[in-house]
Structure 1
Amino acid sequence: MPTHGNKLWILRHGGSSTLVVGEIDLSTRQLEYSRPYLADRTQPALSLSLPLREDPFAEAEFRPYLEGLLPEGEDRRSLAAKLAVRDDDYLAMLSNSLECMGDVAFSREPVDEANDPFGRARYEPIGMNEVSEALSSSDATAQASLTSRLSLTGTQHKMGLARCPDKEGESVWLRPLGGAASTHVLKSGQLDAIPELEYLVMSSASKCGVTVPKVELIALGRGRLAICVERFDRQTTVLEDGRLAVRRLHQEDLAQSLGIYPGSKYAELDPSSASAIAHLLRNHSSQPLRDIQGLARIMLLNYLVGNCDNHLKNLSLMHEGAWTRLAPAYDIVPTTLFDCFSRQMGMRIGRHGIIDEVIPEDFVELANELGISEELLRRTARELCDALPRSIDEEGERQARTGFEALAYDAENLIADMLPRKATLESFAQR
């Protein structure tokens, strides 16, 4: 990989300035924090798995974090093909990335005032026809990502865009170029109804005490829909002259925090994933009790709606200065509605990993693993069992009235699928 001095620079770009976090020596395969970054003492580490220190990190230590910044599956293979590199050459793929999750970026050239990789950041309008085409396949998604120098994690077709109101107050979609920041992620499902179902769950969860990003449905044409998710790692301001100013926020997913490769995101941690994550939050969160309670609510929500894709990369931490907190919940899809998806949960509940085998006693064990009282978990279960089905039904009817008629039927199917798990959770809650 051609780089200046055979190095790859790691940056953090919040919006107004670029910080050089460190560099990777491509000959020795070592990552080292820069001395000015270490001397600042107000900046967070790249990851909890890469704590601030003067000694360099070996590749085995830093690779899981960097791999976690890249897309997975077919989208990764398509991106590698577009770049004409091997799909296991993660550094070559990242060297093109100025817009990752959080505020991390990469440069093949040293960064100073005369050489700012974000100096050409800009936006251009994009129409829905082009968005629809870009979300139609892995190859098209990879090409759109290359154009924006964008790297989005996960396995669904995703596209990062920015949205800004025009002079009449209508929303205008913009394509980020040259490292400009996206403000929203648009996702199309590889199976029909996935965007609609994810929308129903996410929008309803926000009314049931679960912190989630804002979501909406976007019509792509020809009956296709995409879910539009407002990025929680972005803060957006519209300046007086109408330009968009976006501040990036530092984040990492829990697989990165724990030094785990994306391919092992479904692995159950020791002694359990729930216990290990609660331990992580207790040691690193600025408000551990609040975040552990939030984790408990997310885990019950995933169980109730049938989201078996609740793996380590679908939970994240936000870092700002000395503060660390659990990020809003995201990518909550009721997978049990689809026969093609496994019913093995990404995180075990109590003694059971198969969602249909969970019994009320498993939630007693879950409370113990999280280090919270059984009564607190029971109260949370009662709240979700009472509010969530009603919220899903109301949202389905509301969307049907706005033109998305299928959502009323999707809501009915989702609520019916939830009934056996709701009965199990209510049995625990009423003890």
Structure 2
Amino acid sequence: MSSAFPAQGLDLALDVFFGTDLVGRLAFDPELDQFSFVYSAPWRQRAHRFQLSPHIPLDGEVSAVAVRRFIDNLLPEGRALDVVSSFTHVQKSNLFGLIRVLGRETAGALSLLPAGQQPRAQEAQRRPVALAELQQRIDDRNRIPFAIWDDKVRMSVAGYQDKLLVLREGEALFLADGSLSSTHILKPEPLNDKLPCMVANEHFCMQLINRLGQRRLKENWAAEVEILRVPAPVLCVERFDRVRDGGDVRRVHVIDGCHALNLPVSHKYERPLGNAEDVRHIRDGASFDALATLRPHLSNAAIGIRQMALWAITTLLLGNSDAHGKNISFFGRGDALAVAPFYDLVSVAVYDARHIDQELAMAFGDEFVLPAVKSFALADFCERLGFPRRTFARELKQLCEWAREEARAQAQDPVYVEAERPFVRALADYVVARADFLLGQVMEIPRFSDDLF
């Protein structure tokens, strides 16, 4: 119960819940400009307990920096954060104020409520969303931000894109309030007309990777996706941090790569200061080297590192240069991590480089542009990640051979209409070309001397 904590300062404290279990209390000290977090004693004894992240352990000291970064990484970014700040009149620099507004349903399992509130006191509320209304809101995005519905902020997941969290029951869509949780994320086309067919792009990429997963291990590697026609195309992404349990929706603890690595949002790219000549050597952001340091925290290190290698292969095949530290996530189970399904897979490379940056978010070896990622850079990547080069070469070869077939097959999916059809055919051509290029590199990957790394 929240009475386990001191009563003073409740205005600047939030109780953190997993379902109805009190995990702990988050507090903010405005004089020191510091956050603190303390786990509740009952939570430490729960059989299903988990730590928030490897850097906020159940036992041991928790640093104020780690808590601040954990909270910061729960928030949306860019225009989405601007909308939240403007609508709520909470400054973007006011981290506590923002998480107080958005914390009721974060990514993952946690709910952050004003200290003393109990989640069980909330009433289940479903607010229907008709497709006609959804279309109108998509059309009105320049006038009314997509995150605002019924005078409430409805976006509480990280990222830049317009998104809407909904509860889906059959074909019906609802805004979930009170004790209910969302099950899907809706992503309309971006407002930027220089990035056409983004919905078809992401759908194609996610489906292609699932086709490869089914051929390799008879399992999906990416989140389930569907295109809704309202009639504008909207990508409907099934949340892997939500599990249906009878008539209820159970939330699952998930953290992203920046959470896991204790990095601020500003360090989601390997080169956090950019690629200008005087700072390009600074590479202390999210990287494959950094992800390799999570090995001791993985519930199964061999499987986890392999899944990270597969995630890297999606970048190589799709041209997803924006695969950064917040685009990979982990299930938190006890004090261990397991790689979650892949998400936000898009081909950046098929768009005009004048309109979107093509530099890799994470280098392969020392290479930050895809055409330069050849056999030595791939071997270097394997060494840094701690994945056997021979095994990687074998996996890459097989997946590239299958990708040549599956990309063409996915491009024939009748779900694509009008301008999407030539777009996905061109995208399939790109994937085939990438697969051919990579097949020309695989033989050399295991042959380099260990002394070179």
Q: TM-score, normalised by structure 2?
A: 0.84
| Residue among 368, 377, 391 paired with 1:353 | 368
Q: 1:52 and 2:55 equivalent?
A: no
User: Can you list the C-alpha shifts for 1:344-383, whole angstroms capped at 9, x where unaligned?
Assistant: 1011012201122222221111121222222211111112
Q: CA deviation at 1:277?
A: 0.6
Q: 1:181 and 2:194 equivalent?
A: no
| Residue among 178, 181, 203 paired with 1:199 | 203
CA RMSD for the aligned pairs? 2.4
Q: 1:374 and 2:389 equivalent?
A: yes
Q: Is the 8 A contact 1:360 1:424 kept in 2?
A: no
Q: What residue identity is the alignment partner of 1:131?
A: L
Q: 1:417 and 2:427 equivalent?
A: no
Give 1 or 2: higher strand fraction: 1
Q: 1:78 and 2:83 equivalent?
A: yes
1:206 aligned counterpart, secondary structure:
helix
User: Can you list the C-alpha shifts for 1:252-310, whole angstroms capped at 9, x where unaligned?
Assistant: 10111112111221125559821221221x11111111111111111011111100011
CA spacing shift, 1:327–1:272, aligned 2, 3 Å: closer
CA spacing shift, 1:410–1:403, aligned 2, 3 Å: closer
Residues 193-272 of structure 1 mapped to structure 2, 5 A cutoff: 193-209=197-213, 211-221=221-231, 224-239=232-247, 245-268=248-271
2:157 aligned counterpart, secondary structure:
coil
Q: What residue identity is the alignment partner of 2:188?
A: S
- Cα distance in 1 between the residues matched to 2:9 and 2:165: 29
Q: Is the 8 A contact 1:141 1:158 kept in 2?
A: yes
Q: What residue identity is the alignment partner of 1:24?
A: A
| Residue among 103, 110, 114 paired with 2:109 | 103
Q: Is the 8 A contact 2:360 2:368 kept in 1?
A: yes
2:24 aligned counterpart, secondary structure:
strand
| Residue among 329, 336, 348 paired with 1:335 | 348
Q: What residue identity is the alignment partner of 1:212?
A: A
Q: CA deviation at 1:53?
A: 3.8
- Cα distance in 1 between the residues matched to 2:125 and 2:285: 48
Q: What residue identity is the alignment partner of 1:226?
A: V
- In structure 1, the residue matched to 2:165 is 160
Q: Is the 8 A contact 2:147 2:163 kept in 1?
A: no
1:131 aligned counterpart, secondary structure:
helix
- Cα distance in 2 between the residues matched to 1:123 and 1:83: 23
- Cα distance in 1 between the residues matched to 2:286 and 2:127: 47
CA spacing shift, 1:386–1:56, aligned 2, 3 Å: closer
- Cα distance in 2 between the residues matched to 1:144 and 1:383: 46
- In structure 1, the residue matched to 2:72 is 67
| Residue among 134, 137, 142 paired with 1:131 | 134
Q: 1:314 and 2:327 equivalent?
A: yes
| Residue among 417, 421, 426 paired with 1:408 | 421
User: Can you list the C-alpha shifts for 1:363-422, whole angstroms capped at 9, x where unaligned?
Assistant: 1111212222222111111122112232222122122xx563444322221123335532
User: Can you list the C-alpha shifts for 1:84-108, whole angstroms capped at 9, x where unaligned?
Assistant: 1112212111112211100122122
How many correspondences in the alignment? 408
CA spacing shift, 1:117–1:267, aligned 2, 3 Å: farther
1:30 aligned counterpart, secondary structure:
strand
- In structure 2, the residue matched to 1:389 is 404
Q: CA deviation at 1:66?
A: 0.7
- Cα distance in 1 between the residues matched to 2:303 and 2:234: 32
What 5-or-longer segments of structure 2 have no aligned partner?
A: 1-7, 214-219, 272-282, 445-453
Q: 1:303 and 2:311 equivalent?
A: no
CA spacing shift, 1:156–1:325, aligned 2, 3 Å: same
Q: Is the 8 A contact 2:200 2:416 kept in 1?
A: no
Q: What residue identity is the alignment partner of 2:412?
A: E
Q: What residue identity is the alignment partner of 1:30?
A: F
Q: Is the 8 A contact 1:185 1:231 kept in 2?
A: yes
CA spacing shift, 1:328–1:118, aligned 2, 3 Å: farther
1:348 aligned counterpart, secondary structure:
coil
Q: TM-score, normalised by structure 1?
A: 0.88
Q: Is the 8 A contact 2:154 2:164 kept in 1?
A: no
Q: What residue identity is the alignment partner of 2:241?
A: D
1:312 aligned counterpart, secondary structure:
coil
- Cα distance in 1 between the residues matched to 2:410 and 2:235: 15
- Percent identity at matched positions? 23
Q: Is the 8 A contact 2:289 2:384 kept in 1?
A: yes
Q: What residue identity is the alignment partner of 2:222?
A: V
User: Can you list the C-alpha shifts for 1:314-356, whole angstroms capped at 9, x where unaligned?
Assistant: 0011013344201111101100111211111011012201122
CA spacing shift, 1:54–1:8, aligned 2, 3 Å: farther
Q: Is the 8 A contact 1:32 1:54 kept in 2?
A: no
Residues 260-299 of structure 1 mapped to structure 2, 5 A cutoff: 260-268=263-271, 273-280=287-294, 282-299=295-312
CA spacing shift, 1:423–1:319, aligned 2, 3 Å: same
- Cα distance in 1 between the residues matched to 2:147 and 2:261: 28
- Cα distance in 2 between the residues matched to 1:262 and 1:132: 32
